[in-house]
Amino acid sequence: MKLFENFHYEAFDHPKPNFDDPQTRQERLRVRDALLKLNDMIWPYISQRQWDLHRHRQSIHYVSSDHFIYLEDGTPVVTKIDSMWLHYGKSPQQLDYLKTLGGFDYHKLNTDEYFNAFYLHSRIQFYINSECLRCWLLLATDKNYYDRSEYLRRLYRSQAERDKLFSLIIRLLNKGFFYEIGDDKLKLKTGLTQDQLFKFIKKDKGGLYSGIVKQYDPADILLNIDNIRNEMTANLELLYPIYDFMAFRFKA
């Protein structure tokens, strides 16, 4: 038995991402329910570890949207839904602090209504589309500002920072992870050197998604109901120290 069955993946089959009718929404609601069940499995573990890793301040946004959303001026936030995710990231206090700094994330948006821009920041998310399930440390979206810029600034300026990151990345080698920047992927395997890693990281820039991923085929036995909690908490143990290194925030 699996937490995520075939029908969960099928909720994102073409052309469903472009639809928002009641039947399609109902399929996405079943995905949301499964992601919330995963949250019930792993949030107590995260809380017990006392990590600086948080759920969205509003429980309705623990999981990404299952329906189309528009701002008050009619601007679409979501015009298609080809995936959904459960995510953990910065605290409300950290987001409020970043809001005072301004920047690209908040250039033309009412931040109080725009989900506090939670999804624009570094986070660890459990992501599902029509093809796979991902455990994904997302450094930056195409619209992210502070996390990527500060992370790259530190790595370019300091060998000590590059050493620290590489020491964290080494723990992921041969465990199925890859570093992803846009469409480029770097497998995290034995033999990877710090120079190779940093050369790859230099490709990162605004307008791209970037982060570290472990991806699962829907049939993977590690996603069985008896395995998935232990599998995902083991991933969190490996990814959280890197999230802590990447994320631009003050301690709150």
Write the pLDDT tens digit of every residue in 28-45.
999 999 999 999 999 999
Of 14-28, 49-63, 98-112, 121-135, minimum mean pLDDT range: 98-112
- The domain ranges of the chain are 6-246
SS3 label, residue 221: helix
**Average pLDDT rounded to a whole number, residues 76-100:** 88
pLDDT beyond 50 at 252: no
pLDDT beyond 80 at 104: no
Query: Measuring CA to CA, which residue among 34, 105, 99 is closest to residue 66?
Result: 34
For residue 72, the model assigns a pLDDT of 76
For residue 88, the model assigns a pLDDT of 98
Q: Judging by DSSP bridges, how do beta strands 123-128 and 133-140 pair with one another? A: antiparallel
Q: Which CATH architecture has domain 6-246?
A: 2-Layer Sandwich (3.30)
**Average pLDDT rounded to a whole number, residues 196-222:** 96
pTM score, whole prediction: 0.92
